[in-house]
Amino acid sequence: MPDQQFPEPTAGGLIFNPEGKLFLMKSHKWRDKWVVPGGHIELGETIEESLIREVKEETNLDIYNIEFICFQEFIYDDLFWKRRHYIFFDYACKTDSTEVILNFEAQEYTWVLLKDRNKLQIDHYTEIAVQKYLDMKNNTI
Residue 75 lies in a domain: yes
Residue 107 lies in a domain: yes
Residue 102 lies in a domain: yes
How many domains is the chain built from? 1
Residue 3 lies in a domain: no
Q: Give the pLDDT confidence of 86-141 residue by residue, as tens digits.
A: 899 999 999 998 889 888 888 899 999 999 999 999 999 999 999 999 999 885 44
Residue 45 lies in a domain: yes
Residue 89 lies in a domain: yes
Amino acid 82: pLDDT:
66
Q: Give the pLDDT confidence of 19-55 residue by residue, as tens digits.
A: 999 999 998 876 888 999 999 999 999 999 999 999 9
* Residue 96 structural domain: 8-137
Q: How far is Cα 64 from Cα 87, in angstroms, rounded to an integer?
A: 22
Residue 2 lies in a domain: no
Burial of residue 40, with CB atoms counted within 10 A of its CB: 0-12 exposed, 13-18 middle, 19 or more buried:
middle
Q: Is the pTM of this model over 0.85?
A: yes
Residue 118 lies in a domain: yes
Q: DSSP string spanning 101-121?
A: ---TT-SEEEEE-GGGGGGS-
